Amino acid sequence: MENRNILVKLIRSLPLIDGLPDLELDHFKSAAKELFFTALLSTSPLWIGAFAASLISAGTSQSAEIDILGIMWENLKSSINTGALIIYSAALIAPVIYIATQEAKGTTNSKIFPSRPWHILFALIIQIVGCVYFVIQFLQLSMNQQFAFYFSIYLFPFTLVLLLIAFCYKNLIFEMDPLREMENSDKNFSANYSRHRRGQQ
């Protein structure tokens, strides 16, 4: 129990994840579903485009044995190699700014998004990086493609993690169940009253 308390204190001292100890399993489950469908639909031009290109390549190929999935994977890699995931990261992270600025007022207290400035800061940085990458591509300026590839490979998972945490916190602060809040309030009052009585004895 003592080790758990130390771990909780450590997590609460860290930016971005300081609100994780307040979450329940349902918050994570709901957030994971939101993240899956958001990422799947947001990146659909990437993987649907790769699949369509593989079908076209297969249709024009003279080979008897055609590996459509293999061709799709190669098309997907060629898109990722250019650093396309940087643009998708900038698009995916946008909802974090809106979510982080929300505040839910309950029956007993207000719920504020944990580490709000940090989430907004990282979201803005990722969007600025996406804008810079887009300008470089649009103006056809020279860029180290290998650096863009490896940078995007790290940036995209980091963006997904930030989005997952934001969805978790959103589920936490907008979990407006008056009955549960009244019950928690009664429990807190009873606990505080018991401690106060013990202190007087």
User: Is the residue at 169 inside a domain?
Assistant: yes
Report pTM: 0.77
pLDDT at 118: 94
Tell me the two tokens of residue 14: 């860290």
Q: Please name the residues in contact with 159: beta carbons below 8 A apart, sequence gap of 6 or more.
A: 89, 92, 93, 126
User: Is the residue at 58 inside a domain?
Assistant: no
Identify the domain containing residue 126 by its residue range. 25-45+83-176
User: Is the residue at 15 inside a domain?
Assistant: no
User: Is the residue at 168 inside a domain?
Assistant: yes
pLDDT at 130: 94
pLDDT of 193 higher than 80:
no
Alpha helices in 13-67, H assignment, sequence order: 25-42, 44-60
pLDDT of 200 higher than 80:
no
User: Is the residue at 63 inside a domain?
Assistant: no
pLDDT at 41: 93
Contact by Cβ (8 Å): 113, 173: yes
**What is the domain count for the chain?**
1
Contact by Cβ (8 Å): 175, 42: no
User: Is the residue at 97 inside a domain?
Assistant: yes
Three-class HEC string of 117-176: HHHHHHHHHHHHHHHHHHHHHHCCCCCCHHHHHHHHHHHHHHHHHHHHHHHHHHHHHCCC
pLDDT at 116: 92
pLDDT at 135: 92
- Looking at per-residue pLDDT, the higher value among 33 and 52 belongs to 33
Residue-averaged pLDDT of the chain: 82
pLDDT at 107: 42
User: Is the residue at 117 inside a domain?
Assistant: yes
| 39-89 per-position pLDDT tens digit | 999 999 888 888 888 888 777 766 656 777 788 888 888 888 888 899 999
Contact by Cβ (8 Å): 69, 76: no
User: Is the residue at 162 inside a domain?
Assistant: yes
pLDDT of 199 higher than 60:
no
